[in-house]
Each structure stands twice: as structure tokens, then as C-alpha cells.
């Protein structure tokens, strides 16, 4: 394990931390010296993830049950982290779901579920954390959006809307909080090898690779490294930005 610990003394909270991109982010932040609170809709899974990361990195961790779509649950998650570690310096809004279908077939329930988790969840968690961050005059918020929020995608009107909304939210909040030394940025992954993409057909994956100039799907660690940069002192003068981690798939 590397001795490089630029986040030593920081406390990070990560939603959707038990697998895929969220797990990679939580683990890398811990490797770089942060104490980490792992949030997940399955409390046992969050605790298990936290324990594994603690053993692997030597950092203090906690695992908390959180349903980001529920305002009180999000409040409780942040309160749990503050009680455990005394503060929160870093918030990574990673939790997200898909309910893909053509718009004519998307039910109201599937629309609402995606918006509530992906977009309202960001509002809920940010609402819970910004007052403590403002008080300490320091904070780093990173929202995990998607290249689909930049480009759109057939069959994902609900998902693309939620992810595009996250980008507008990120830029607005960055303007509100900049004077308090709080940065707010977004990371937009392309096609990353996670449980969400495992269900795609081989033909679909090959097509995605063809559209990617770097010629491969991304790994969760690719996204985690971008997040680790944005929450570090190296990115202290960066806010309101969207960093695409997509192998060049979408170029704005």
C-alpha cells in the first residue's frame, strides 16, 4: 500500500459505496488517507464494505444504512458520519439506479424512482451536509453524473434527465458555496464495467467500445481517480466543472 496520503485527516462520505464505482471511490479515498463513511440501501452491505476497506487500508470507516431518496434517511446518514468522525469534509453522491425503456413504455413509477434516487438524492445529501461544511469553511462535493446527461440516449429519458439535472445542480451549488471554500464538481463516467453494464449484451458493449476513441470500457478505478483528484488540494481552484471519464466518447 502506498504511503501517498494527501487526504490524511479528511472525512469522506460516499453513497452507493458497496459495489462498483462507489466501492472503488470509497476504497481509494481511504488509501489516500481519508476516514470514510460508506452508505448503502442495504445496511449490512455497507457495514461489510466499511470493514473490508478498514482492513485493507488501516483507516477508520463506518457503514450506514441510507436511502438517499428519503430526506430523513439522508439527514441521518450525514449525522451518523459526524457523530462517528466529528465532521464531514468530502461528500461523493454516487448512488444511482436505472429503469431503462422507451418513453412510451416508461411508467410513472419508473420515472419517479429514477428522479428520486439520482437527482433528489443529491439534493437530500447536499442539503444535509452544506451547513456543517459552511461552518467549518471547507468542503468538497463531487456528484457522479453520466455522459448520458451530456449527450442523451435513446431508451434512457428518465436516467438522462436525472443526470443532466445533476449537472445544473452542481453548477448552481458551486456558485452558492464558493465563498465558503467549498467546491462542487461532477464526474461524468462513460461505459464502466460494473453491475449496471454487466447486463448489457456483448453486441452493445462492442458498439460502446467502437464509439470510444481509447478503445475500451472504463474501470471503476478510472472514475475513483478522478474523484480523488477533485477532492484533493490539487483541485482547490476547480469548481462548477464536469469532468468526463469516458475514454473520449463524448467531447464537449
List, by residue number, the catalytic residues.
159
**Residue with C-alpha cell 458498439?**
207
CA angle 115–212–203, rounded 5-degree value: 80
What ranges make up the beta strands (E) of 4-124?
11-15, 35-40, 61-65, 90-93
How far is it, in rounded angstroms, from Cα 144 to Cα 199?
20
Distance in angstroms (rounded) separating the CA atoms of residues 148 and 163: 7
Locus of grid cell 467549498: 182
Q: How many other β-carbons are positioned within 10 Å of the β-carbon of residue 132? A: 16
Q: Are the C-beta atoms of 74 and 66 separated by less than 8 Å?
A: yes
Amino acid at each position: 500500500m502506498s504511503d501517498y496520503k494527501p487526504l490524511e485527516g479528511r472525512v469522506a462520505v460516499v453513497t452507493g459505496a458497496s459495489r462498483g464505482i462507489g466501492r472503488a471511490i470509497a476504497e481509494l479515498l481511504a488509501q489516500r488517507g481519508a476516514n470514510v463513511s460508506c452508505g448503502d440501501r442495504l445496511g449490512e452491505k455497507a457495514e461489510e464494505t466499511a470493514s473490508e476497506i478498514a482492513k485493507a487500508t488501516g483507516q477508520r470507516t463506518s457503514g450506514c444504512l441510507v436511502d438517499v431518496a428519503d430526506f430523513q434517511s439522508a439527514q441521518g446518514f450525514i449525522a451518523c458520519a459526524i457523530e462517528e468522525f466529528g465532521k464531514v469534509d468530502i461528500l461523493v453522491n454516487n448512488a444511482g439506479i436505472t429503469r431503462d425503456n422507451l418513453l412510451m413504455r416508461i411508467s410513472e413509477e419508473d420515472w419517479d424512482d429514477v428522479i428520486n434516487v439520482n437527482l433528489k438524492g443529491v439534493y437530500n445529501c447536499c442539503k444535509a451536509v452544506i451547513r456543517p461544511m459552511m461552518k467549518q469553511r471547507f468542503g468538497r462535493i463531487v456528484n457522479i453524473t453520466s455522459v448520458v446527461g451530456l449527450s442523451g440516449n435513446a431508451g434512457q429519458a428518465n436516467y438522462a434527465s436525472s443526470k443532466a439535472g445533476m449537472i445544473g445542480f452542481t453548477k448552481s451549488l458551486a456558485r452558492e458555496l464558493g465563498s465558503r471554500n467549498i467546491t462542487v464538481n461532477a464526474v461524468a463516467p462513460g461505459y464502466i464495467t460494473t453491475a449496471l453494464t454487466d447486463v448489457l449484451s456483448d453486441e452493445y458493449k462492442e458498439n460502446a467500445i467502437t464509439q470510444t476513441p481509447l478503445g475500451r470500457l472504463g474501470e471503476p478505478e478510472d472514475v475513483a481517480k478522478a474523484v480523488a483528484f477533485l477532492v484533493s488540494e490539487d483541485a482547490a481552484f476547480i469548481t462548477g466543472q464536469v469532468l468526463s471519464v469516458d475514454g473520449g466518447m463524448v467531447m464537449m
